[in-house]
A = this chain, B = another copy of it.
Amino acid sequence: MNIITYGTFDTFHYGHLDLLSRAKSLGEKLVVGVSTDQFNTIKGKTCYFNFEKRVSWINQLKCVDVVLPENSWEQKKEDIKKYKIDMLVMGDDWRDKFDYLPCDVYYLNRTDLISSTEIRNILKKEV
């Protein structure tokens, strides 16, 4: 089964790593779309690290088979066709948003995921 997920992955941390390894465990091949700096601008999102740096982290993970740039909201349909995707995996803050896509859509329970806010809180407690 071929899985795809999308993200920004700024200030890469174990929350991202856990999400990606859970996504991979749902199938055999994991494709990851990393949002480009241009796409982030469209979304009104500012990243600390540029696209090249964010991609370099994702490329270092065993669970990731293909990394591609995410340039627009519309490209998901093309990616699904091109990579013969069976399932899109996203955090459930996106619930219902991608139900229109021509593949299974699996929303990971956000309570199991780790957000940057939680990590900030953990790091604050660190000795």
Interface residues of A, Cβ cutoff 8 Å to B = 10-14, 17, 21, 45-46, 48-49, 57, 59-63, 116, 119-120, 122-127
- Say how many copies of this protein the assembly contains: 2
- State in angstroms the CA–CA spacing of A57 and B46 once bound together: 27
Report whether A119 and B127 are in contact in the complex, using a CB–CB cutoff of 8 Å: no
Report whether B60 and A17 are in contact in the complex, using a CB–CB cutoff of 8 Å: yes
Report whether B57 and A60 are in contact in the complex, using a CB–CB cutoff of 8 Å: no
Residues of B within 8 A of A13 (CB): 11-14, 119
Q: Could you name 11 residue pairs across A and B whose Cβ atoms are closer than 8 Å?
A: A10-B126, A11-B123, A11-B126, A13-B13, A13-B119, A14-B49, A17-B60, A60-B63, A120-B120, A120-B124, A123-B123
**Which residue of B45, B57, B123 is within 8 Å of A127 (Cβ)?**
B45
